[in-house]
Amino acid sequence: MSESVSANAVWQYDYIDHYRLDENIIGGFLDRKWGHYKYYVRRKGDEFRFWVPRALDKDEKNKLIELRKPKA
């Protein structure tokens, strides 16, 4: 079940290392977390940047990291 987004949420950019992640993995994670919004997931240097209603906490970032693609 997704977490509801407060009407007064102050959206902000958050970042995560790009290693073995892609826009679809991150976007899917965010969709499951908060529902279907435009998260503006983009790679910026060695990180992905995404627009969210609050920064991901350490546990949420670890769950996202667990979704990394396997090594080739």
pLDDT at residue 72 greater than cutoff 90: no
What's the pLDDT score for residue 35? 94
Query: CA 21, CA 71: separation in Å to the nearest integer?
Result: 11
pLDDT per residue as tens digits for the range 11-66:
999 999 999 999 999 999 999 999 999 999 999 999 999 999 999 999 999 999 99
What's the pLDDT score for residue 7? 78
pLDDT category at 8 given cuts 50, 70, 90 is: confident
Note the pTM of the prediction, 2 decimals.
Answer: 0.90
Q: Which residue has 């240097």 as its token pair?
A: 45
DSSP string of 3-67, one letter each residue: PPPPTT---EEEEEE-TT--HHHHHHHHHHHH-S-----EEETTEEEEEESS---HHHHHHHHTT
